[in-house]
Every structure is written in structure tokens, then in C-alpha cells.
Amino acid sequence: MTEVITAESEGLKQATALPGEGDLDLRGLVKRYGKNTVVDHLDLTIPSGQLFALLGPSGCGKTTTLRMVAGLEHPDEGQIHLSGTDITQLRTFRRPVNTVFQSYALFPHLTIFENVAFGLRERRKKDIKAKVSRILETVELQAMAHRKPAQLSGGQQQRVALARALVNEPQVLLLDEPLGALDMKLRRQMQYQIKQIQNELGLTFLHVTHDQEEAMTMADKIAVMNNGRIEQMGAPEELYESPRTAFVANFLGSSNLLEGEVRGTDGDVVVTEVVGQQVRVPKDRVHSAHQSVFVGVRPEKIHVVEHGTAPDPSENEISGIVLDSSFIGIGTEYVVTVAGSFEPMKAFVQNRSAGARLAPGTPVSLRWQIPFTFALDGHEDPHAGEGSAVGPATGHISVDADEMSARAKHGPRK
């Protein structure tokens, strides 16, 4: 239950901070579809002016959370505050937030210009022409103003959707997997462009995605969501370097997690025993209340050294035998069996030194700097979050299938 405590203490920390102007504040949000709790007592504060990513696998409740902020879904419990005002009961068309839909939802019967002008016309704004032209310029689509959406490419449609939401200068811009339907190259470009626009306009962006690389490249802050709860929240580096749960350790990148026991402390490091060898973990990177822990380290932090040289005292060491190695261009990935552990360890070595790859069967030492070590609760599932991360490299187009079907079955549609 550590992850719950973590999420809640995180929430408490923010509650004590004064809610600033423009902050989006979610308090105890619950959404159920029948017996299925999709969002489970969610607390979250999104500070004004940030690009905030809500990251999680399909069906984790992230899209439902976004839809509740947009007013397209109604929470069973909890409140949503924007700049200190309760907007929980406000209907969609009264909320000062705008959404970029995953399917873009461009109106097929209206021109690009009229699509972008839609929200302005509904609010009877002045200078519609100038505003629309300006935003179309920002997304580099002035030339397309009089075309219909079907005449545009996927990337162009995506930009129209963005412009159509941005032109209303929303207090929060909601992006629901906005790049899911684009190919990898275009996605990279758009990630950059969205980040640029956000910097320029200084608006709050809430970006929902299942793509950890996308979240890490774009976001100022990421909340990792799983099973309707927030596992961990923080800056991308913080989440990556110091995961607090097995889910986060595996969902963002990959991790070696080895079973271990806490043996004692030595200054500001905790000494653990892993497969009969001593592994030292910085005290502030131990996230377990128990004796039994999972000791973790990222594969790319590990040096693979042939036996013989003595280890540096600032390093941890585990010895094993090379089982397999695979060459992947910028580096080599070794799979190393460790005596006493059922799970082999992975190590990623950059191809910086000349020389042959280590052959399978070679006895090696795996070494890494002590500050890279972390320890998690030993009662967790060490495989949580594995395989559910879909990187952009696969070019996989994903829909939150579980959430969609849950909505189709139970959700009252607008």
C-alpha cells in the first residue's frame, strides 16, 4: 500500500500550498462505471502555466480524468476547482477549458477557418477574423483556411484541432492523446511545436498520454497513473531517476529489480543484502517500510567489467555470467545471470570502446555508482507496469480501449 500513501502525501503537500491563480485542483475525484471504479479518490493540483502530463497505460483512468475536467463526464464524488472556484457542476460549455480530442473531432462541414472560429462565435467575441488568422499563423496553416478538414493531412488536422482550442485562450488546455494518430517523425515535430506554443503562450496544458517518452520530452511535470490512482508525481528526471514504486520503475524505461533484505544503516546509506552480496542504497532513495525490499538500478547505469579489477568503494557490485548479448546500434544490451536470483539482470553499455562483445559464458562484475541505486517495497509486484509502456518507436496507435468500452457500456453520453 506504499503507493497509496505516496500519492496521498503528495496530494497533502500541495493542499497546504496556497492554490495560485489559474491552478487546476482535483479533490477526491471518483468515477465508477457500474462496479468498475475507473478513477479512485484522485487528488491532483496542476499549477498554472505548466505543461503537465498525465501518464499511464490504457484503462488507467487518465482519459476519464481529463473528460471530468472538460465536463464531458461527471464525477461520482469529489470536486474540481479552477483558480479557486468550484467548477464541478458547471456544464461543459460554461467551463473556461478547451480540449484537443484524440480523434480531433473537427467539424467536417465547416472550413478550417470556421472550425477555429467556432468557439469565438459561440461566445460572440469581436475581431474573430484577426484572432483566427493569428492562431492559424502560429500553427502555420493560414493557407488552408478555406479548405475542409477532409482535405488536410493528419498532421495538419492535428494542428487545426490545437488552434481551434487555443484561440479561445482557455485557462487550461486539455490534450487527449493528441499525437496518437501520427507517425513517429511527425509526432516528434509536433511534440516540439506544442512545447514551443505552450512556452510562448504560457497557458496551462494538461496532456494525457500513454507514451512515456512523449511525456518525458514534453512535460514540466508528470503524474504517473495506474488503476485510477496516482502512483507518483514529479519532474521527468525525478521520476526516472528515483521511482518510488515498481510500476513507475518499469513503466518509465526499464529497471532491474532484485529481491533483497535491509541489513542496517551506515551513515546516510542503507546497507542491503542482495543475492548474498552487499548493495548500498542512499537513505533518501529507500521507499519501503519493510525489511524486504526490491533493490533497483537502471540498465544504462551499469558497467560490465570482466573479473579481476577491484571495485571502487563508491560503487555497488554484483557478479554474474553473461547469458546473452544483443547489439542495438548505439549500444549493447547484456543479459547477465546472477547466482541466487531467478531474474537475470540487464545492462546497457554504450559502444564507446573498441573491442569484441563479451561472449556468453564470460564471468563478469556488474558495477554502478551507489547514488543510482534505489529500493522499493518488497511486497510489490516487481513486474508491475512492464510491457504496458508503448514507446513511439513502435509507431503503435493506441486508443484507451478499456475506457472507451466502459464508457460505451455505462457512461451516459452527451
Partner 1 sequence: MTRETAQRPVSQLNYSPKRERISGFFGRHIIRVIGALATVYLLLPIAVIIVMSLNKPAGRYNFTFNEFTLDNWTNMCGPYGLCSSVTLSLQIALAAAVAATVIGVLAAYSLSRFRFRGHGSANILVLLPMTMPEVVLGASLLTLYVNVGIPLGPLAILLAHIMFCISFVIIVVKARLAMLDANLTEAAADLYATPWRAFKRVTLPLAAPGILAGAVLAFALSFDDFIITNFNSGNAMTFPMYVWGAAKRGVPPQVNVIATVIFLIVMVLAVTMSIVATVRENRSR
Partner 2 sequence: MALTAAEKRRNWTPYLLLAPMLLWLLMFFLAPMVTLLMGSLQSGSFTEGFNFTFEVSNYVNAIVAYWPWFLRSIGYALVATLCALLIAYPLAYMIVFKAGRWKYILLVLVVAPLFASFLVRTLAWTTILADEGVVVGTLRSLHILSPDQWLLATPVSVIAGLTYNFLPFMTLPIYVSLDRIDKRLIEAATDLYASGFRAFRRVTLPLSLPGIVSGMLLVFIPAAGDFVNAQLLGSVETQMIGNVIESQYLRALDYPMASALSVILIVLIIGLVTFSMRRSRADELL
Binding-site ranges for partner 2 (CB under 8 A) = 74, 76-77, 89, 91, 412
203 — phi, psi (to 5°)?
Answer: -85, 165
Query: What, of partner 1, partner 2, none, does residue 192 touch, CB below 5 to 8 Å by kind?
Result: none
Cα(405)–Cα(412) distance, rounded to whole angstroms? 12
Q: Which of 2, 64, 99, 138 binds partner 1 (CB under 8 A)?
A: 99
If the CB atoms of residues 13 and 91 are measured against partner 2, the closer one turns out to be 91
The DSSP annotation for 265-293 comes to: EETTEEEEEETTEEEEEEGGGEE-SSSEE
* SS3 (DSSP) at 98: strand
Binding of partner 1 by 151 (CB under 8 A): yes
Interacting residue with partner 1 among 35, 123, 126, 307 (CB under 8 A): 123
Contacting partner 1 (CB under 8 A), which of 51, 70, 181, 269? Answer: 70
The smaller minimum CB distance to partner 2, of residues 126 and 413, is found at 413
> Quick one: which segment of 23-31, 126-134, 160-168, 358-366 binds partner 1 (CB under 8 A)?
160-168
The correct pick among 85, 103, 265, 351 for binding partner 1 (CB under 8 A) is: 103
Q: Which of 4, 90, 105, 321 binds partner 1 (CB under 8 A)?
A: 105
Q: How far is the CB of 89 from partner 2 (least distance, A)?
A: 5
DSSP-assigned letter for residue 250: H
- Judged by beta carbon distances under 5 to 8 A according to partner kind, the member of partner 1, partner 2, none in contact with residue 103 is partner 1
Among 29, 72, 162, 304, binds partner 1 (CB under 8 A): 72
Answer for which of 35, 93, 126, 307 binds partner 1 (CB under 8 A) is: 93
To partner 2, the closest distance from the beta carbon of 28 in angstroms equals 13
Q: Is 348 in the site for partner 1 (CB under 8 A)?
A: no
Instruction: Please say which residue, 70 or 194, places its beta carbon nearer to partner 1.
Output: 70
Nearest alpha-carbon partner for 248 in 226, 266, 263: 226
Stretch that binds partner 1, among 44-52, 82-90, 94-102, 271-279 (CB under 8 A): 94-102
Q: Which of 115, 71, 96 is nearest to 203 (CA)?
A: 96
The answer to whether residues 372 and 285 touch, using CB atoms and an 8 Å cutoff, is: no
| Interaction between residue 150 and partner 1 (CB under 8 A) | yes
Angle, vertex CA 373, rays to CA 377 and CA 389, nearest 5: 70
Of 59 and 75, which has the nearer Cβ to partner 2? 75
Selected from 22, 49, 61, 71, the binder of partner 1 by CB under 8 A is 71
Write down the least CB distance from residue 87 to partner 2, Å: 12
Residue among 200, 196, 211, 100 nearest 157 (CA): 100
- To partner 2, the closest distance from the beta carbon of 260 in angstroms equals 46
| CA 75/CA 88 separation, integer angstroms | 8
Q: Are the beta carbons of 251 and 389 closer than 8 angstroms?
A: yes
Residue with Cβ nearer partner 1 (125 or 379) = 125
Q: Is 404 in the site for partner 1 (CB under 8 A)?
A: no
Q: Does 168 bind partner 1 (CB under 8 A)?
A: yes
DSSP string, 174-219: EEESTTTTS-HHHHHHHHHHHHHHHHHH--EEEEEES-HHHHHHH-
Q: Which does 92 bind (CB under 5 to 8 A by kind): partner 1, partner 2, none?
A: partner 1
Contact 51, 195 (CB under 8 A): yes
- Which listed option, partner 2, partner 1, none, makes contact with residue 348 (CB within 5 to 8 Å by class)? none
The answer to whether 342 and 259 are in contact (CB under 8 A) is: no
Provide the strand spans (E) within 62-169.
77-82, 85-86, 97-100
Q: Alpha-carbon distance 246 to 261, whole Å?
A: 16
* Contact range with partner 1 by CB under 8 A, out of 47-55, 132-140, 147-155, 315-323: 147-155
Q: Does 92 bind partner 1 (CB under 8 A)?
A: yes
Residue 141 backbone phi and psi in degrees, to 5: -130, 20
Name the CA dihedral angle for 38, 211, 383, 6, rounded to a multiple of 10 degrees: -60
Residues that bind partner 1 (CB under 8 A): 70-72, 91-94, 97-99, 101, 103, 105-109, 118-119, 122-123, 148, 150-151, 164-165, 168, 411-414
